[in-house]
Amino acid sequence: MSILKQPFFYDITLRDGNQSLKKPWQLSEKEIIFNKLLELNVQAVEVGFPHSSEMDFEACKYLASIAPENLVVSALARCTEADILSVVNSIGHAKKPRVHVFLTLSPFHMKYVLNKDPMEVRKTAIGAVSFASDKIKRANKNGEVEFSVEHFGDCGENLDFVIDTLQEVVKAGATTINLPNTVERTRIKTFVDMIEKVYNALPKHVTISAHNHNDLGMATAATVESYFAGAVQLECALNGLGERSGNTNFYEVAVALHNSGVDVPVDLSKIYETALIVAQMSKVEIYEKAPLIGPDALAHRSGIHQDGALKTKDMEKGAYRPIHPSLIGRKDDEKIGLTSQSGKTAVFEIITKAGYPITIQEAIRLTPFVKEAAEKVGELPTRNIIDIYFREICNVEGPFKLVNFDHIADNKFMVEFNYKDKKFEMTGSGNGPVDACMDALKQAGFERKFLYYKQMAMDEELLGSGAIAMSVIHIEGNDGSKVIGRAIHKNTAVANVKAIFNAYNLIYKA
């Protein structure tokens, strides 16, 4: 078991990520990503594969020249002198340059791709590391060599051979040994056990590194567990860019380690803005369900989750999220999406957030209407929910229909209405329209206890049709409960009377 050291984030976006893009980045684009990596405070950047093209050589050269003192700048080379010299010539002038040479040691790959005998492959690896070490140290006293066992994940059957080779490779000058699951074929537990075995077999000055591809979606887990097994260097890519299904996602590893109590030397608050820029520049969209950064990563649609999420909204630990969004610099709140699976909490939250008054009692009443609509169309836009609110809260259908309301004289008002098929034309008197309307209803045989009245000033844009206030009336219901009537109208007296009729309809239609 390893004694935990602080993780060392080695970013491979500009190499493994870049080589997988439909249009690999030019120097100016690489520079933008490089600067984002510096803001994130990564410890090492693999800036490219300089022997792949003149353009990449120039990009590596330039990025090495602007790298800060404490950053390890690395570039990739196959085990050939030409590749290694390209690395030395392009990044040798960085403050801390590293030649990253790789060769497969997997039985399958050595046999079918290299067509070489394992001992011959071992010799090539040792020779390349020795050559790289000599050249980079001549160019720069801080120069170092990393050796990668390509397809290490496939080396279960010849692990002893791999370990013996790595011991020789270390003697030849490699100080970092990178162990990739180049294609994710191996179970995490098996892979991590292999990492641990190599860690235990090599001298302690050697840094063990994990490099996982995400073919089966296990790269984050494999990388995180490799860290706990001794792999201090973690090779990750922004937005999980990389060959096929990508490399290990940088953000997921950093946050998972942070959540495990590890001191992560990365500015996590830069994650979200970085992710957006990388998506834009790589033309690889962030998929809806992407952990941490996806548009849906903060969305709750089931009633149970919505309830828990809202109850813990401002807390650092949330009921249904791994982190507070602000940890990674996300400014958007947890999103409450209303579908047929949602409940009253969502109705209440969405309507309140849109600026309309509603009580939880009203939200409970509205929920079946909203869910019924959502069953047909799926997640309802806020506008549709507000339309239902106006229909079911501000224009309640029922046995009462207000036909006309007029001020006759002094404290007298005419109230013309229907109750079912019966017509009423009453003159009510009172101290204002509310009083007079209640009096008219009493005379017609519909006496009710009046509890409360308020006019709420509201933004005209929210109400529409020239209204600037909402009338709220509370009337006692049959069981002594409070029944709320709301209404809007550009004439406030009419709004008051409509609110009374809305409350009456709720009471009498039951």
Residues that bind ligand KIV (CB under 6 A): 16, 102, 148, 150, 178, 180, 182, 211, 213
Residue 306 binds: one of ligand KIV, Zn ion, none (C-beta under 5 to 8 A by kind)? none
Which residues, 136 to 195, sit near Zn ion by CB under 5 A? none
Residue 439 in contact with Zn ion, rule: CB under 5 A: no
Residue 98 or 213 with smaller CB distance to ligand KIV? 213
Element (H, E) at 305: helix 303-311
As measured in angstroms, the least distance from the Cβ of 284 to Zn ion is 16
Residue 126 or 351 with smaller CB distance to ligand KIV? 126
Question: Which member of 11, 14, 15, 16 binds Zn ion (CB under 5 A)?
Answer: 16
Residue 233 or 345 with smaller CB distance to ligand KIV? 233
As measured in angstroms, the least distance from the Cβ of 14 to ligand KIV is 13
As measured in angstroms, the least distance from the Cβ of 243 to Zn ion is 6
Specify the stretch interacting with Zn ion by CB under 5 A; choose among 14-22, 26-34, 374-382, 399-407.
Answer: 14-22
Residue 389 binds: one of ligand KIV, Zn ion, none (C-beta under 5 to 8 A by kind)? none
Residue 152 or 453 with smaller CB distance to Zn ion? 152
Element (H, E) at 413: strand 412-419
Specify the stretch interacting with Zn ion by CB under 5 A; choose among 11-19, 149-157, 162-170, 395-403.
Answer: 11-19
Strands 469-476 and 450-457: antiparallel
As measured in angstroms, the least distance from the Cβ of 78 to ligand KIV is 9
Residue 450 binds: one of Zn ion, ligand KIV, none (C-beta under 5 to 8 A by kind)? none
Nearest to 445 by CA among 504, 494, 498: 504
Element (H, E) at 24: none
**Is residue 67 within 8 Å of 45, Cβ to Cβ?**
yes
Q: Residue 244 corresponds to which tokens in the numbers above?
A: 């096929």
Q: How many CB atoms lie within 10 A of CB 203?
A: 9
Q: Residue 285 corresponds to which tokens in the numbers above?
A: 């969209």
Q: Residue 219 corresponds to which tokens in the numbers above?
A: 């790269």
76: amino acid identity, one letter: L
As measured in angstroms, the least distance from the Cβ of 148 to Zn ion is 8
Residue 16 or 439 with smaller CB distance to Zn ion? 16
Specify the stretch interacting with Zn ion by CB under 5 A; choose among 12-20, 77-85, 214-222, 425-433.
Answer: 12-20
Instruction: Using alpha carbons only, give the angle 321, 325, 328 rounded to the nearest 5 degrees.
Output: 120
DSSP 126-187: HHHHHHHHHHHHHH-TT-EEEEEEETGGG-GGGHHHHHHHHHHHHHTTEEEEEEEESS--S-
Residue 102 binds: one of Zn ion, ligand KIV, none (C-beta under 5 to 8 A by kind)? ligand KIV
CB-based contacts of 494, cutoff 8 Å, min separation 6: 405
Residue 12 or 507 with smaller CB distance to Zn ion? 12
Torsion, CA 108, CA 113, CA 116, CA 121, rounded to 10: -80
118: amino acid identity, one letter: P
Burial of 193 (0-12, 13-18, 19+ CB in 10 A): middle
Site string for Zn ion, 361-400 (x = CB under 5 A): ----------------------------------------
Q: How far is Cα 130 from Cα 289, in angstroms, rounded to an integer?
A: 45
As measured in angstroms, the least distance from the Cβ of 365 to Zn ion is 57
Residue 240 or 318 with smaller CB distance to ligand KIV? 240
As measured in angstroms, the least distance from the Cβ of 202 to ligand KIV is 17
DSSP state, residue 451: E
Residue 181 or 341 with smaller CB distance to Zn ion? 181
Residue 106 or 345 with smaller CB distance to ligand KIV? 106
As measured in angstroms, the least distance from the Cβ of 224 to ligand KIV is 18
Residue 97 binds: one of ligand KIV, Zn ion, none (C-beta under 5 to 8 A by kind)? none
Residue 148 binds: one of Zn ion, ligand KIV, none (C-beta under 5 to 8 A by kind)? ligand KIV
As measured in angstroms, the least distance from the Cβ of 332 to ligand KIV is 34
As measured in angstroms, the least distance from the Cβ of 235 to Zn ion is 8
Helix (H, G, I), strand (E, B) or coil at 103: strand
Residue 150 or 392 with smaller CB distance to ligand KIV? 150
**Is residue 394 within 8 Å of 487, Cβ to Cβ?**
yes
Residue 16 or 307 with smaller CB distance to Zn ion? 16
DSSP state, residue 505: H
Q: How far is Cα 301 from Cα 307, in angstroms, rounded to an integer?
A: 10
Q: CA 194 from chain center: how many Å?
A: 32
Q: Residue 306 corresponds to which tokens in the numbers above?
A: 């919505």
For the chain, the 3-state helix, strand and coil shares in percent, each to the nearest 5, are: 45, 20, 30
291: amino acid identity, one letter: P
As measured in angstroms, the least distance from the Cβ of 15 to Zn ion is 8
Residues that bind Zn ion (CB under 5 A): 16
